[in-house]
Structure 1
């Protein structure tokens, strides 16, 4: 066989071997991603140095902590607490109290009947005196009636005129116009200030709400008498002809002067207020 014929015979085999080699290299060396093609320059082979085994790190256990003795009776310092914000002071001016009362009633008699100064002090002093069976003319919460006390004579005796009772009707109308729950809210609003005022003239260890209940009880104990009521004068003031009525306390005798109908209305309102005060105290 000639050299030319031998070359023709080997050429297909060399081509097939080259293709197989390229496929094998492509499978083994193909990257997971497709980076930009880089033409690699073959580097001379470097003889690898034999690997040297590294000694493993020695594990040293952490030292055991010494036991700590705890005194179960030792005082524990409390955690710091956030102080509560102080409540805003209540406006106890006469104008503020007047406006508060005005909001409780739509009666047009308010401005005409209510006192204009020292309203909080007047209320505390009046209630305290009522609880002590006394009157405080200089600390009236309401102005005195414009009409005078009137009597009439019959059978050589003097009797209270019904017109004297009617002069108290506007006060009773105003008293009845106040909503009971609103009265309690107003009482709670000014309770601390009333307590401070009472502590100056009464028992500082006693709740003023208890004094209010005692004053109400004094008025509720006033007996109801039939109309008309006989009176007499000692040239200074009128007195009840019935000794049992004359022995009543000054507040009770004053309540009698409002008349049978007004007195029943006042007592009914006082019972409602007392019930709310006692219910509030039992909560």
Structure 2
């Protein structure tokens, strides 16, 4: 498993480390859906028709070539791999427990409105959100984008083929964590590709990003931006240049993910 998780998390950092500071400082924003009023009972429904499991678009061999640790005992191997690749300082960026589960949960949630800060695999980025102006001229400062530079550089080090080879060897653990998340018929690699596509579709900012501060925390002034998914907000907050660098690497990785040879 040498370098396996290290290469994987170099890419995962791009998708979650930057966004972690936003969520950590914003606090939970989830609002439960309103309870629909009770409706009169309808006629008895017809017996359900058994449906086939969804077809797998991008299969990955689910049988490991070498024995893997149980998912519940996989943290030491994950953290050791990170240390081997990035040195001892790499541990300061990651949560030490349930690493693989945290990665799966965060990836699954990036296209949604909120990513749970408590379940992220990474720790918050240091420093405060940088702004410019005040009142009606309050904007996100370009100085804020530089805070993400170390993570962007880290991601650009990743070789797409090396990443996919390592990811394939470890895939059974990610697949198990995804099914445990509540998708018994789901396929994690398909979800990962879909999330990458979602991030690639993230819009660019047109000029300074206006902010408002209705209470303690900042929000996008434009309701259309504020309603974006967690992943799209991330791409907006790190700046167009950083987002372009991330997208370039994600395209390389996606190309490899969708062409993994089937097990023979």
Measure how far apart 1:110 and its partner are.
2.5
Contiguous gaps of at least 5 residues in structure 2: 1-63
* Structure-2 separation of matches of 1:281 and 1:230: 46
1:1-283 residue pairs with structure 2 within 5 A?
88-91=66-69, 93-103=74-84, 105-106=85-86, 110-153=90-133, 156-280=136-260
Measure how far apart 1:281 and its partner are.
6.4
* Structure-1 separation of matches of 2:169 and 2:224: 40
Quick check: 1:184–1:276 contact (8 Å CA) kept in 2? yes
Normalised by the length of structure 1, the TM-score is 0.63
Measure how far apart 1:124 and its partner are.
0.9
* Structure-2 separation of matches of 1:227 and 1:140: 30
Q: RMSD across aligned C-alpha pairs, in angstroms?
A: 2.5
Quick check: 1:172–1:262 contact (8 Å CA) kept in 2? yes
* Structure-1 separation of matches of 2:144 and 2:86: 25
Per-residue Cα deviation, 1:28-65 (whole angstroms, up to 9, x for no partner): xxxxxxxxxxxxxxxxxxxxxxxxxxxxxxxxxxxxxx
What SS does the corresponding residue of 1:168 show, helix, strand or coil? helix
Quick check: 2:82–2:91 contact (8 Å CA) kept in 1? no
Structure number with higher relative contact order (C-alpha < 8 Å, ≥ 6 residues apart): 2
Query: In structure 2, do the counterparts of structure 1 residues 153 and 278 end up closer, same or farther at CA, with 3 Å as the change threshold?
Result: same
* Structure-2 separation of matches of 1:250 and 1:244: 13
Per-residue Cα deviation, 1:124-171 (whole angstroms, up to 9, x for no partner): 111111244541211212211111112111684101112211111111
Quick check: 1:151–1:159 contact (8 Å CA) kept in 2? yes
Quick check: 2:111–2:231 contact (8 Å CA) kept in 1? no
Quick check: 2:205–2:239 contact (8 Å CA) kept in 1? no
Query: In structure 2, do the counterparts of structure 1 residues 95 and 238 end up closer, same or farther at CA, with 3 Å as the change threshold?
Result: same
Normalised by the length of structure 2, the TM-score is 0.67
Quick check: 1:133–1:218 contact (8 Å CA) kept in 2? no
Measure how far apart 1:210 and its partner are.
0.4
Over alpha carbons, which structure has the higher Rg? Answer: 1
* Structure-2 separation of matches of 1:223 and 1:176: 21
After TM superposition, the runs of 4+ consecutive aligned structure 1 residues lying more than 4 A away are 105-109
Measure how far apart 1:201 and its partner are.
1.2
